[in-house]
Structure 1
Amino acid sequence: MVVLVIIGMIMSIVAPNIMGQQEEAAIDKAHLDIQQIEDALSLYKLKNKTYPTTEQGLEALVNKTSIEPIPRRFPEGGFIEKLPEDPWGNPYQLISPGEIGKVDIFSMGPDGEAGTDDDIGNWDEEKQ
């Protein structure tokens, strides 16, 4: 019985540290994904003189869109092979033109809702 109490005490100390590290790793992954998407968007703009619109979304990096403005140059295989999901299983979002920068790329964060304090976006890159 004493052994179980000791194990319980140890777990109460260790578990929060592990949970904090998992959350930090998820946030780091989101920043890396956003940087990869931002690089693909830069290439898209270089080839087409404009970013995809909000309506076209990030899918315009993978598949040639039929929504105006239609890109003049679209490489076979797209600008990115596959769009990653954020660490919480949601798609990354695009606002173009951006509200904060030229384009805003973001994860809705752990709560899965846009516009809340846990959103992680390319506007956070300066904080890294």
Structure 2
Amino acid sequence: MSCKRNCVTACDASEWPWSRGSDVRDGSGSARLRYKRCVARRAFSLMELMVVIVILGLLAGLVVAKTRSYIVLSKQNSSRVELAKIREAMESFYAVYGRYPTNEEGVRALVEPSPKFPDGLLNKIPKDPWGNPYVYNNPGKEAAYDLICYGADGREGGEGADMDLRDEETDGN
């Protein structure tokens, strides 16, 4: 008898080797063993399943890592855009008042209404994409003012997601 006849997918239950009327069954159980061997050859072994699971796990890990790096990159780019908007508001403030806001006024001076800007220069006090406030220092170390985003950790220094971002275009007016 061929293996196909013994496989579940190739025959119905009445044709199984241990069913009534089967001439393959010899009483020693050899027909049943042939059937089990056939099914075992058609199924995946535990080792093959483990290898597939490990490969899928590695692929999932790579996808998650790559996605996280894209999220960090998009937050950093968003922060650069916000820094540029704050810089433009600072330049408008400077054009009208002849000075940049003091440390005490900070970025809040760009939001508060004034006679020259009844709605303020910005709609609200901006926070970086990680929810931390932007740091404003007047005078700055190398320019008229420093505008800094401290990154994910909210502290000075760091690499990757914690990297500090500075407004590079302050020209020291």
Q: How far apart, in 1, do the equivalents of 2:116 and 2:107 lie?
A: 14
Paired residue secondary structure (1:29): helix
Report the more deviating stretch, 55-64 or 3-12. Answer: 3-12
Unmatched runs of 5 consecutive residues or more in structure 2: 1-48
What pairs up with 1:25-104 in 2 under 5 angstroms? 25-64=74-113, 73-104=115-146
Are 1:105 and 1:122, in contact at CA under 8 Å, matched by a contact in 2? yes
Partner of 1:119: 164
Q: CA deviation at 1:42?
A: 0.2
- Aligned amino acid, residue 42 of structure 1: E
Higher relative contact order (CA 8 A, sep 6+): 1
Q: How far apart, in 1, do the equivalents of 2:111 and 2:144 lie?
A: 20
Q: How far apart, in 1, do the equivalents of 2:62 and 2:111 lie?
A: 45
Cα deviation code 1:29-82 (max 9, x no counterpart): 110000000000000000100000112110010115xxxxxx7x5311111111
Unmatched runs of 5 consecutive residues or more in structure 1: 65-70
Larger Cα-atom Rg: 2
**Structure 2 length normalisation: TM-score?**
0.61
Give every structure 1 segment of 4 or more consecutive aligned residues whose post-TM-superposition deviation is greater than 4 Å. Answer: none
Aligned length: 117
Are 1:101 and 1:123, in contact at CA under 8 Å, matched by a contact in 2? no
Partner of 2:67: 18
Task: Give the alignment's Cα RMSD to 1 decimal.
Answer: 2.0
Tell me the percent identity: 27
**Structure 1 length normalisation: TM-score?**
0.81
